[in-house]
Structure 1
């Protein structure tokens, strides 16, 4: 699971527990200027993932790490599709972040409010 917080002008993602191992990443920091928005999207886990490199993918269990598809890189950290949030990015290494969070609605509100304040 991931924790998302706003720290000044940055969106900070902290990857928790064993997900660090599965995703090969402990966290990410993205300037809010590069965040286009966030949505709760439990259906995204059914979408094609692309080529995993590096990361882990066991269908129905976990999708974590970097996936390459159609010339884009997407970072995943999802075990429970019902808690998936998609953060769309611009001018970043990743085109989007697909993250499992504790409360998808609250996370989307947090991100959208931070963008509105900018």
Structure 2
């Protein structure tokens, strides 16, 4: 699971617990202006891609950096999802990742924080 906290003009995404090990990241700091929007999408974590580095246990967990063929920009996606019903997709610009697919405690709160994102 990932917690989301605004710190001035930066948004801090903190990977919690053992997920730090599985995702091989503990935190992402992204300028607020680089966040294009957010949407709930429980199906987003089902996408198949090349894991580099990360963890994928089918039906249980997907965490880490993944490359997907359908993004068109050759940038990776960061994932950390165990319970798909709490999945939020956050679209990014001018960042290492093109989007974040993360599990959060309150998806509606995170979507409200960033506004709607265009469906990809």
User: TM-score scaled to structure 1, two decimals?
Assistant: 0.90
- The secondary structure found in structure 2 opposite 1:106 is helix
Q: Say how many residue pairs are matched.
A: 112
- Residue 61 of structure 1 is matched in structure 2 by 60
Alpha-carbon RMSD across the aligned residues, in angstroms, is: 1.3
Shift of residue 32 of structure 1? 0.9
> Unpaired segments of 5 or more residues in structure 1?
113-118
Query: Following superposition, which runs of at least 4 residues in structure 1 exceed 4 angstroms of deviation?
Result: none
Shift of residue 46 of structure 1? 2.3
Match of 2:111 among 100, 108, 112: 108
User: TM-score scaled to structure 2, two decimals?
Assistant: 0.89
- The secondary structure found in structure 2 opposite 1:4 is strand
